[in-house]
Amino acid sequence: MKNTNTKTLTRVALLVAIEVVMKLVGLGSVPMGPLYMSFLTLPIAVGAITMGPAVGALLGGVFGAVSFYDAITGASAMTGALFQVSPLNTFILCVGMRVLMGLCCGLIFKGLQKLDKSRTWSYIVSAMTAPALNTLFFMGYIVLAFYGCDYVQNLVSVKGAANPFMFVVLLVGVQGVAEFLVSGILGGIVARAVAKFLK
């Protein structure tokens, strides 16, 4: 039992380290306008799929913590501006939504695994939910908590969005699709390889 716990903690620590290093060396995100195309969902998907929803939530929290740090320091233009509007809502946006994303990714994999007897497609589909849910939860919370603030209304005006839904579509656009495909497919391949290795 002790040996199993040590192995699990070591694997979690390794994924946390990968998450932090990706962020520090710039491999975690690519700037695209006010948003970043994030690849930090990749280790979250791998952890959620191979070790369960709780690990996914923990890794989502790590992603959220580095994102919130960027908001506090102003390293991210968007979350930095939103932090000036509401520090609490920015914390929920950065951390809460990422924890929820990691948790949901793990739960989705558990559900899909029951349908995927051959254990082939459930890895990629589940990994694709990580970037998709990250975008959905993050942008959804921006609309819920910040849509009326000057910063967001300026973006709405610049994008020419007629409503909140169009604002999200126009702001996320190509970045969201690229993140969904690249992070999702790569995450699924890595998660399946790691799951086979851990057996």
The percent of the chain in helix, strand and coil, each rounded to the nearest 5, is 85, 5, 15
Name the nearest CA neighbour of 29 among 77, 88, 90, 84: 77
Average per-residue pLDDT for the chain: 84
pTM of the model: 0.84
- For 53-75, how does the pLDDT look when each residue is reduced to its tens digit (9 = 90+)? 999 999 999 999 999 999 999 98
φ and ψ of 38, to 5 deg: -95, 135
Taking the CA of residue 35 as centre, how many other CA atoms within 13 Å lie in the half-sphere pointing to its CB? 21
pLDDT tier, 76 (very low <50, low <70, confident <90, very high otherwise): confident
Q: Which residue has the higher pLDDT, 114 or 197?
A: 114
Q: pLDDT tens for residues 24-43?
A: 777 666 665 555 567 788 89
